Amino acid sequence: MALLRNDQHTLTGVYALDALDTAAEVTRFERHLNRCDNCTGEVRGFRETATRMAMAVAQQPPPTLRAAVMADVARTRQVPAADEGARHARRLPRRTLLPRLAMAGAALGLAAAITLAVVLVNTNSQLSQTQQQLSQAQQELSQAKRHLILAQTQLAAINAVRTAADATLVTKATSIGGRVTVVKSAAKRQLVVTASGLPPLTAGKVYQLWLIGAPGNKIRSEGLLAVHNGRSGPVLISGVLQGDTFGITLEPRGGTVQPTVAPFVGIPAS
Amino acid sequence: MRASEPESPRQEGGEQHLDDLLVRVARGDQAAFEAVYDTLAGPVYGLILRVVRDPAQSEEVSQEVLLEAWRTAARFDPAKGTAATWVLTIAHRRAVDRVRSAAAATAREQRTAEVPVPHDDVAAIVEASLDAQRVRECLEGLTEPQRESIALAYYGGYSYRQVGERLGTALSTIKTRIRDGLIRMRDCLGVS
């Protein structure tokens, strides 16, 4: 059955959802897609739409998946960016070095060749040791990079709250000294906390952050607040609910599930 | 350092960040890949589970998809769409491939008969996140036939011919329903 071209155009949705029936249908539609800028734009928009639908059904994968994927990744070579890259990658020095050395060996005579072989063996064992060290260093680097990426993500999220269109800033002196500043975005349901001049912690005590729900709602721990040279934060707090109050208490080391004392500062969070 | 650059006030920060990460993955950066995994493994697994319905098989397909993302990251072109879409398009295709063969489809139907999974139940999509809530609101804004056709095709992994058969509706109608519904979803979600 030959489909008319304008008929093909209405297939953008079906194509974007991978719902065409046969490979032949896909090929035919993709041929049309190459000539139709409107369709290309439409398919792109539909795919982004589908992505949002996928995000909406996210589920925690089984914990075994992560290790399995990372193990695969560690032993799987990547496809190079382009054919150009592939050609370069294949031109490794090792492939051309050995035949040339062999030819040189023949020219130098047997004794020289043996000397050369001994040198090569030694060099190889050193090389393998160096490679091991390199691989260890790479692993450490990869872990450091991961930490950096997490820190960058955190910082980006903090900046996003601070620059949100509806961001508001509240700063307040606390009952034990020092000031606490909160930047909050109702749209994001997030806030960013910084503090300065809080008294140094006595042994066995910590500063703990809380979101205190409106009457009838829960009090949620938002973790501990570290103090460096009298300054703290910025700390990002997410999932703020309507009517929440942000507060800080002094608690025993390790923190508590629910506050044991009244907060020394309270700021409306929503 | 990049992190100290101010974020643009319009918050596409998250998506932009993921695109950058995937570009780094293409250069063999395993740490960047781990960050991509932590963001997208949930959506990948959730989507595949919805289509394939069997947790063990879904885990297997998810593993293939995520490895594929690592292996072929160099093919990701930020000019053509977001990193999330690039990965989730691979995920959906692989899931559909897994269930489209006749035998697999029959087995899946049987599984569905045995275990009542509310896979076509749009209301079951509810999740705590704001994003999910928005998607649900937008789905509710569709006509019933549009919603049904899109859910069967995308979350169910059915071809549009199969959707037509299940709903007893002509192919040409399914085609326009899916397109019209997606236009409405796209506009409702503010996808540009």
The model's pLDDT over B147-168, given as tens digits with 9 standing for 90+, comes to 999 999 999 999 999 999 999 9
- Do residues A261 and A249 touch, judged by C-beta distance below 8 A? yes
Q: How far apart are the first and last CA of chain A?
A: 60
Q: Is the pLDDT of residue B46 over 50?
A: yes
* Helix spans in A36-81 (H): 37-55, 64-75
Instruction: Tell me the C-alpha distance between B99 and B106, whole Å.
Output: 9
Residue A125 or residue B39, greater confidence: B39
Residue A231 or residue B82, greater confidence: B82
Q: Is the pLDDT of residue B10 over 70?
A: no
- Predicted pLDDT at B8: 35
- Predicted pLDDT at A183: 87
Q: Hey, are the CB atoms on A160 and B13 less than 8 Å from each other?
A: yes
Chain A interface includes B101 (CB < 8 A): no
Q: Hey, are the CB atoms on A44 and B81 less than 8 Å from each other?
A: yes
- Predicted pLDDT at B9: 34
- Predicted pLDDT at A86: 43
Q: Name the strand (E) or helix (H) holding A144.
A: helix A110-162
Residue of B2, B7, B75, B142 best to disrupt the A interface, most CBs of A under 10 A: B7
Confidence of residue B117 (pLDDT cuts 50, 70, 90): very low
Q: How far is A177 from chain B (nearest CA, A)?
A: 30
Instruction: Tell me the C-alpha distance between A83 and A192, whole Å.
Output: 47
- Do residues A86 and A80 touch, judged by C-beta distance below 8 A? yes
Residue B11 φ then ψ, to 5°:
-90, 80
Average of per-residue pLDDT values in chain B? 84
* Per-residue model confidence as pLDDT tens for chain A (270 residues): 444 445 788 999 999 999 999 999 999 999 999 999 999 999 999 999 999 999 999 999 999 999 999 999 999 999 886 543 444 443 344 444 455 555 555 665 666 666 667 667 767 777 777 777 777 777 777 777 776 777 777 777 777 887 788 888 888 889 998 889 888 888 888 998 988 888 888 888 889 999 988 887 788 888 888 887 778 888 888 889 888 999 999 988 888 888 888 899 999 998
Q: Is A201 left (phi over 0), alpha (psi -120 to 50) or beta?
A: beta
Four-CA torsion A192, A195, A201, A205, nearest 10 degrees: -30
Q: How far is A158 from chain B (nearest CA, A)?
A: 9
Instruction: Tell me the C-alpha distance between B173 and B143, whole Å.
Output: 13
| CB contacts, 8 Å: A58 with chain B | 42-43, 45-47, 127, 129, 132
Nearest residue of A to residue B92 by CA position?
A: A18
Q: Is the pLDDT of residue B174 over 80?
A: yes
Q: Give the list of residues 6+ apart from residue B159 with CB closer than 8 angstroms, or none.
A: A19, A20, A21, B100, B153
Chain A interface includes B61 (CB < 8 A): no
Q: Is the pLDDT of residue B116 over 60?
A: no
Tell me which residue of A217, A218, A269, A270 sits closest to A248, measured CA to CA: A269
Confidence of residue B29 (pLDDT cuts 50, 70, 90): very high
